[in-house]
C-alpha cells in the first residue's frame, strides 16, 4: 500500500470548513452536569430507533474523508417507512448533514439502490413541494438532485405527518464511490442544502411539534467495535447506556456566530499504558474546536498532532497498525471542559476483513486539518445532542 496521502477532495473540503480558530470568542464553554430528570431520561417523551451497521462495513482509505459518500456507505442504517401506505427504506443516519432524502425508482435504472426506492405515485399523502430544487453536493463531487417533497415518515413505531424531505431523481451509483442509500440528516436546519430563505424544520423538530417527543434533542449510542447495532434516542437520553453523569458543554458557533454543527472544545489528549500516563498533546496546546461526526470513521487531526500520537503507538506510515494493539489494555483519554472520555486500545485497531490488516483509529488529516471526532471516538462516548440549547452532553459509554 502506498504512503498515506490526502486526496484533493479532502483538501478541498477542509479548506471549505467555515470556522476559524482565532475567531472563537469562548473556546472553553461553561459546563454543568445534567440532572437526571425523569422527562429527559428514557421513557416518556422519547422515541427509540435502533440502527445497524452496514453488513460489509470495512474501513477503506477513502473513508478518512469527512462527510463523504464513502462515509455514508459505512455508517449506520435506520429502517423507515415513507408515504401512505408506508414504503420500507433503509437510510444512512448522519449527524453531519440536515436533509432527509431517498431515491426514486427512476434514479436507479443505472445505479443500484441498496436502501430501496420510493415510488411517489402510489402514496396517497405525497406532495411535490418544489420540483428540481434539491441539490446536495459531496466533496468527492458526487451530486444528488431532485425535488423537495412532503409525505408521512414512519420510524420507531410512530408516523410523523407531512415531513419535508427530498426525492432524488439523479445521483444513484454516481461518483467515485457509488451512493446506494438515501440519508436521514439530523443536523441543524442551518446546515440544510437549500438556501437559508428556504430553511425548513428538520425531522427532530417535526417530532417535537407533533407531540411525539418532548425535547428538541437526541442521543446516539454506537456500542463497541464488535457490535453491529446501536440506538438513536430522540427527545432524551438513556442513563443505562453510560456511566457517571452527562456533562453538558456548549457547542461552538461558526465565525459568523451561527451554530451549524456539533463542534466542541477539545483540551487535551493523554495516553495510558502499563500504569504510565503520557500527554499526547504538545506543551503549547490550547483547546481546539473538534467536530463530533458519526459520518466519519476515524479520528482526524492535523499532521503535527497526529505525529505525536502515531509515534507513541508505533503506527505504520500507511495508516495501519499491528492488530495486536486490540489485545493490550490501555486507553487514550480525551479531555473536554469538565469531562474526559477514555477510548480503549481495543477500539483503535480497526480490522479490515478483506485484507486482514488493521487501520489505526487516528488519521493524519494534513498540515492544517481540523479535528474530527469520528466513530473510533464516538463508540466510547455517549453523546446527547441538545439542539434546542446548542449543547452537547458527554459521558463514558457503557458497552454491551
Ligand atoms: C399520513 O398523514 C395523513 C394526514 O396528513 C393521515 O391522515 C394518514 O393517516 C397518515 N398515514 C399513515 C400511514 O399514518
Ligand atoms: C492530561 O494530562 C494533563 C497533564 O497531566 C492534565 O492536565 C489533563 O487534565 C489530562 N487530561 C486528561 C483528559 O486526562
pLDDT tens for 277-288 read 999 998 888 999
Burial of residue 205 (CB within 10 Å: 0-12, 13-18, 19+) is: middle
Mutate to test the pocket of ligand 1, among 125, 158, 162 (most ligand atoms within 8 A of CB): 125
Average of per-residue pLDDT across 368-374: 90
Protein residue closest via CA to atom 11 of ligand 1: 84
Give the span between the Cα atoms of 42 and 233, in whole angstroms.
8
> Could you confirm whether 94 is annotated as catalytic?
yes
Distance 305 CA to ligand 1 centre (A): 52
Ligand 1 atom having least distance to the Cα of 159: 14
pLDDT of residue 397: 93
Residue nearest to atom 8 of ligand 2 (CA): 268
Q: From atom 2 of ligand 1, which residue's Cα is the shortest distance away?
A: 161
Domain 8-37+240-397 architecture: Beta Barrel (2.40)
Q: Which of 70, 293, 364, 375 is catalytic?
A: 293
Looking at residues 321-332, what average pLDDT do you find?
96
Q: What is the pLDDT of residues 24-66, one digit of tens each?
A: 222 233 334 443 333 345 567 889 888 876 643 433 323 333 3
Report the alpha-carbon distance of residue 289 to residue 259 in Å, rounded: 12
Domains 8-37+240-397 and 47-212 equal at CATH topology level: yes
pLDDT at 148: 96
How many residues are given for the chain? Answer: 400
- List, in sequence order, every residue forming a beta bridge with 187; answer none if it has no partner: none
CB 118 within 8 A of CB 102: yes
pLDDT tens per residue across span 102-145: 999 988 876 678 889 999 999 999 999 988 889 987 655 667 89
Tell me how far the alpha carbon of residue 177 lies from the centroid of ligand 1, in angstroms: 36
**Residues whose beta carbon lies within 6 Å of some atom of ligand 2:** 268, 270, 279, 333, 335, 340
- Cα separation, 292 vs 270, in Å, equals 19
The pLDDT of residue 68 = 28
Q: Per the structure block, which three cell numbers stand in for 293?
A: 461526526
Q: In the predicted model, what is the mean pLDDT of residues 203-215?
A: 95
Annotated domain spans of the chain:
8-37+240-397, 47-212
Cα dihedral 198, 181, 218, 264 sign: negative
What's the CA-to-centroid distance between 235 and ligand 1, angstroms?
22
Confirm or reject CATH 2.30.180.10 for domain 47-212, answering yes or no: no
Q: What is the pLDDT of residues 230-246, one digit of tens each?
A: 889 999 998 888 999 99
User: pLDDT tens-digit profile of 142-179?
Assistant: 678 999 999 999 999 999 999 999 999 887 665 444 56
What are the pocket residues of ligand 1 if the criterion is a CB atom closer than 6 Å to any ligand atom? 84, 86, 125, 152, 159, 161-162
Q: Which helix or strand (DSSP H or E) is residue 204 part of?
A: helix 203-209
Catalytic residue among 41, 70, 94, 375: 94
Q: What is the mean pLDDT of residues 18-27?
A: 28
Select the highest-mean-pLDDT range: 38-52, 181-195, 334-348: 334-348
The percent of residues in the chain predicted with pLDDT above 90, rounded, is 52
- Annotated active-site residue 254? The verdict is no
Amino acid at each position: 500500500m502506498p504512503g498515506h496521502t490526502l486526496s484533493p477532495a479532502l483538501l478541498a473540503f477542509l479548506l471549505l470548513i467555515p470556522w476559524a480558530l482565532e475567531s472563537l470568542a469562548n473556546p472553553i464553554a461553561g459546563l454543568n452536569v445534567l440532572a437526571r430528570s425523569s422527562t429527559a431520561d428514557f421513557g416518556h417523551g422519547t422515541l427509540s430507533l435502533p440502527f445497524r451497521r452496514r453488513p460489509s462495513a470495512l474501513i477503506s482509505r477513502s473513508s478518512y474523508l469527512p462527510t463523504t459518500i464513502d462515509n455514508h456507505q459505512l455508517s449506520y442504517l435506520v429502517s423507515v417507512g415513507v408515504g401512505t401506505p408506508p414504503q420500507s427504506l433503509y437510510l444512512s443516519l448522519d449527524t453531519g448533514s440536515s436533509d432527509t432524502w431517498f431515491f426514486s425508482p427512476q434514479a436507479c435504472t443505472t445505479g443500484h439502490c441498496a436502501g430501496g426506492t420510493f415510488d411517489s405515485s402510489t402514496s396517497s399523502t405525497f406532495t411535490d413541494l418544489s420540483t428540481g430544487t434539491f441539490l446536495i453536493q459531496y466533496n468527492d463531487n458526487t451530486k444528488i438532485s431532485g425535488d423537495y417533497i412532503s409525505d408521512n415518515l414512519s420510524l420507531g413505531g410512530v408516523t410523523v405527518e407531512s415531513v419535508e424531505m427530498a426525492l432524488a431523481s439523479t445521483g444513484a451509483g454516481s461518483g467515485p464511490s457509488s451512493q446506494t442509500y438515501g440519508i436521514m440528516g439530523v443536523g441543524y436546519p442551518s446546515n440544510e442544502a437549500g438556501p437559508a430563505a428556504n430553511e425548513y424544520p428538520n425531522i427532530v423538530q417535526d417530532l417535537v411539534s407533533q407531540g411525539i417527543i418532548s425535547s428538541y434533542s437526541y442521543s446516539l449510542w454506537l456500542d463497541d467495535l464488535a457490535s453491529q447495532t446501536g440506538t438513536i434516542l430522540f427527545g432524551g437520553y438513556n442513563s443505562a447506556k453510560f456511566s457517571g453523569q452527562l456533562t453538558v458543554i456548549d457547542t461552538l458557533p461558526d465565525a459568523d456566530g451561527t451554530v451549524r454543527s456539533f463542534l466542541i472544545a477539545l483540551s487535551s489528549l493523554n495516553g495510558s499504558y502499563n500504569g504510565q500516563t503520557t500527554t499526547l498533546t504538545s506543551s503549547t496546546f490550547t483547546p481546539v474546536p473538534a467536530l463530533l461526526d458519526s459520518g466519519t470513521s476515524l479520528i482526524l487531526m492535523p499532521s503535527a498532532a497526529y505525529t505525536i500520537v502515531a509515534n507513541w503507538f508505533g503506527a505504520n506510515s500507511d495508516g495501519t497498525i499491528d492488530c495486536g494493539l486490540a489485545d493490550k489494555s490501555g486507553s487514550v483519554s480525551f479531555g473536554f471542559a469538565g469531562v474526559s472520555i477514555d477510548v480503549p486500545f481495543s477500539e483503535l485497531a480497526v480490522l479490515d476483513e478483506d485484507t486482514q490488516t488493521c487501520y489505526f483509529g487516528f488519521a493524519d488529516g494534513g498540515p492544517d486539518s481540523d479535528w474530527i471526532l469520528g466513530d473510533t471516538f464516538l463508540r466510547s462516548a455517549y453523546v446527547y445532542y441538545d439542539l434546542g440549547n446548542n449543547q452537547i452532553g458527554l459521558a463514558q459509554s457503557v458497552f454491551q
